[in-house]
A and B are shown apart, each in its own frame.
Chain A
């Protein structure tokens, strides 16, 4: 999101805040969020895919909404209106293909309307089939999970992505030799996929409230959360979606102050630190351990300020429109141990993995042959969960190592806490007790920062060279 986008969306959020009617507020949120998916989509070299990717987001959301809707449910007038509005908006956006280049606000030229209409017709047919199957075939939600995961892997795993890029290039009549991952730049899909998986899973376990298509699609593509999260929960979001909050000076003040804080963190602090932060270009050139530590710390703060800045902007826009989006960061670098760090860093992602991976996994292990080996259960749970969190950022060796790094750190921390509990080693007073949080904070921050060496660089050998340089080996 650029500053111009933020300015426009803040103005839109203010406009929505002023709408007195609850239904109109809902339709505005729905319409703007649908438009935002297209406006924020970056240009991709694949012909028309700057349009197809957002359309695919909406199509996927539609299919999953059908899947999670219960058999007994009838289509409401609200749902039909939402279909119609989405259809009209997509069609109007498609018709901008005839606008002169300078007037179009979309990335790349949309496809021919006939192609779009055929695609939407096929989607409607697929939706109808799913509607008929839902509830009768338990396999349908699992198929949806598989589709979302498959698309996610294609996005994150370079060999798969390149293969799909080449295939799509064949279909669009473009050179296969120019295939690259940038062909598959799909706006916000990392977050969209996790929102979709959460709703499918909760739909399967019956924990999901009844959702209109209007509320569901707005949740999936809610414009403040589209680019960098947070990953909200649909039941919480839909409650606030249905409300008509009163506009107050306090709310406007808090919202705008939060957006300004986010802009300052992202565009002033993070973007400045980005100039000198550790990356693939400067890492091999740095001479001396001291400088390497400096650019590593610059990376640590840059990443935090960048990400939390975007979160502040999203939360601020949410506040303006009467949403209390979940916090994603809570001063993570001031935490005194790694578990506390993970409770305060990318909180909504960590909670997602805890709810859908770690807890079910450890429960299953406890029921199995490992029930008496608690430490093995914890180790396995940490290793699998943290490695998956690493791979969520991209299927590469470095992201996997970064995940393992934290898994091992969390496991050691867990065992250390247990060791101290059993031996009653907790310090209650004295100098050591006062120093403990400071030492813990320093140790945690440096452990996390060293972990960023894997995260920031793309090549494990380069990461190892950076470690050698950091420790003067």
Chain B
């Protein structure tokens, strides 16, 4: 039986047939690549997600450099990132008061499990807004410290109809020269250029324009990495659903630096070289304008204050005292001038709640910060 089948296949396969198969394969390959380039389906593909359909939505945006252990990875497609987030799967009911947290890795919850983050600590408080609506907080924080990256996420999150945006930041996110230092901005040059143009931000655009890519980069071949990441990320939905793990928390890690170097510089500025105009306050303005009436609570986030060596010179690893003091004076002045709602919680958390860096806090730190923010939510 098998032998006769082999004879049949042998007799039907010949040179011209192979050539026809090869030609058809090449034509189909070229046609699919051309169609892909023409239709640009990546944004549409980004909206298609197994999360919130087959698997529960993720409680924070996908981020991770150790997929094998965290069952998570850093995507570059914003649509796919948001499509996987729980906020995309939850219909906003009439009795929901929707609060969105924007910020850096401390808001995202570095070294915290999803249920230990600031957003979940706030949810655990079972708050109700002044009009009686149930407060539901969503974590849209994302690691890397730049206000422009925050602005990008703030604009995107407006699609989900927030009633309040809480934007947490620190001085490290402020300098103009750092504004584009985030892979998510660098790897989405078109979106970043639009953001810069729309908000008229004084940021350099040459490098972004240069990385806009060629025709080839718009084909399946050029997008193979993004496509593979998208598939991998959907598959990791199984392990997210099965384990609720999205981040590796090591049993031991190096604690934030207590003894500090005698270095008076901050981001290349020597003492008294930095002035308020070196800080990207206009990005905050752009965010408030983009919010289009949705109240935005600005929070100068808590940080670790060292008592160790050279602590008379520096507050912590990030900041010399002169720079941070200048920043606080400047932002308070700016808030008064612009009428921002600013909450300054810079020294509100005790030193022992900080973990591996001067801004990452423990579950207890997140819980205390939630208590500190509670009155500002209840007051609405």
B126 within 8 Å of A (CB atoms): no
A369 within 8 Å of B (CB atoms): no
A253 with B235: CB separation less than 8 A: no
Give bound CA distance, A414 to B358, whole Å. 66
Contact partner, B241, options A250, A275, A281, A291, Cβ 8 Å: A291
CB of A102 to closest CB in B, whole Å: 24
A276 within 8 Å of B (CB atoms): yes
Give bound CA distance, A285 to B232, whole Å. 19
CB of B247 to closest CB in A, whole Å: 12
A305 within 8 Å of B (CB atoms): no
B13 with A282: CB separation less than 8 A: no
B243 with A250: CB separation less than 8 A: no
A249 with B239: CB separation less than 8 A: no
B242 with A253: CB separation less than 8 A: no
A66 within 8 Å of B (CB atoms): no
B156 within 8 Å of A (CB atoms): no
Mask of A275-297 contacts with B, CB within 8 angstroms, 1/0:
11000011001111001101100
Give bound CA distance, A287 to B71, whole Å. 14
B238 with A294: CB separation less than 8 A: yes
Kindly identify, within residues 90 to 137 of chain B, every residue whose CB is under 8 Å from any CB belonging to chain A: none
Chain B residues within 8 Å of A281, by CB: 68-69
Mask of A241-265 contacts with B, CB within 8 angstroms, 1/0:
0000000111011100000000000
Chain B residues within 8 Å of A282, by CB: 71, 239, 242-243
A276 with B10: CB separation less than 8 A: no
Chain B residues within 8 Å of A250, by CB: 9-10, 13
Kindly identify, within residues 228 to 250 of chain B, every residue whose CB is under 8 Å from any CB belonging to chain A: 231-232, 235-236, 238-239, 241-245
Chain B residues within 8 Å of A248, by CB: 10
Contact partner, A295, options B15, B231, B239, Cβ 8 Å: B239
A276 with B244: CB separation less than 8 A: no
B337 within 8 Å of A (CB atoms): no
B53 within 8 Å of A (CB atoms): no
B18 within 8 Å of A (CB atoms): yes
Question: What residue in chain A is nearest B12 (Cβ atoms)?
Answer: A250
Chain A residues within 8 Å of B232, by CB: 272, 275
CB of A264 to closest CB in B, whole Å: 14
Give bound CA distance, A281 to B13, whole Å. 48
Mask of B65-91 contacts with A, CB within 8 angstroms, 1/0:
001110100000000000000000000
CB of A263 to closest CB in B, whole Å: 15
**Looking at chain A's contact residues, is the secondary structure mostly helix, strand, loop, or mixed?**
helix
Give bound CA distance, A288 to B14, whole Å. 54
CB of B304 to closest CB in A, whole Å: 30
Chain A residues within 8 Å of B235, by CB: 272, 275-276
Question: What residue in chain A is nearest B73 (Cβ atoms)?
Answer: A275
Kindly identify, within residues 204 to 252 of chain B, every residue whose CB is under 8 Å from any CB belonging to chain A: 231-232, 235-236, 238-239, 241-245
Chain A residues within 8 Å of B239, by CB: 275-276, 282, 286, 295
Contact partner, A298, options B71, B231, B236, B238, Cβ 8 Å: B238
Kindly identify, within residues 8 to 27 of chain B, every residue whose CB is under 8 Å from any CB belonging to chain A: 9-10, 13-15, 17-18
A249 with B13: CB separation less than 8 A: yes
Give bound CA distance, A291 to B241, whole Å. 8
Question: What residue in chain B is nearest A290 (Cβ atoms)?
Answer: B242
Chain A residues within 8 Å of B241, by CB: 291
B18 with A249: CB separation less than 8 A: yes
CB of B176 to closest CB in A, whole Å: 40
Q: Which of A275, A286, A292 has the most CB of B within 10 A?
A: A275
Give bound CA distance, A69 to B239, whole Å. 56
B242 with A288: CB separation less than 8 A: yes
CB of B235 to closest CB in A, whole Å: 5
Give bound CA distance, A281 to B17, whole Å. 49
Chain B residues within 8 Å of A291, by CB: 238, 241-243
A249 with B236: CB separation less than 8 A: no
B18 with A285: CB separation less than 8 A: no
CB of B379 to closest CB in A, whole Å: 38
Mask of B188-208 contacts with A, CB within 8 angstroms, 1/0:
000000000000000000000
Given contacts A281-B69, A294-B238, contact A249 B243 (CB under 8 A): no
Contact partner, B15, options A249, A285, A298, Cβ 8 Å: A249
Give bound CA distance, A249 to B9, whole Å. 11
Give bound CA distance, A295 to B235, whole Å. 11
Contact partner, A285, options B10, B68, B245, Cβ 8 Å: B245
A249 with B14: CB separation less than 8 A: yes
Give bound CA distance, A340 to B136, whole Å. 57
B242 with A287: CB separation less than 8 A: yes
Chain B residues in contact with chain A, CB under 8 A? 9-10, 13-15, 17-18, 67-69, 71, 231-232, 235-236, 238-239, 241-245
The 9 closest A-B pairs by CB, nearest first: A291-B242, A285-B243, A276-B238, A250-B10, A286-B242, A250-B13, A275-B235, A253-B13, A249-B15
Could you show 9 A-B contacts with beta carbons less than 8 Å apart? A252-B18, A275-B232, A276-B238, A281-B68, A282-B71, A285-B243, A286-B239, A286-B242, A287-B244
Chain A residues in contact with chain B, CB under 8 A? 248-250, 252-254, 272, 275-276, 281-282, 285-288, 291-292, 294-295, 298
Known pairs A253-B13, A254-B9, A291-B238; list 14 more (Cβ under 8 Å).
A249-B13, A249-B17, A249-B18, A275-B235, A281-B68, A281-B69, A282-B71, A286-B242, A287-B244, A288-B242, A291-B241, A292-B242, A294-B242, A295-B238
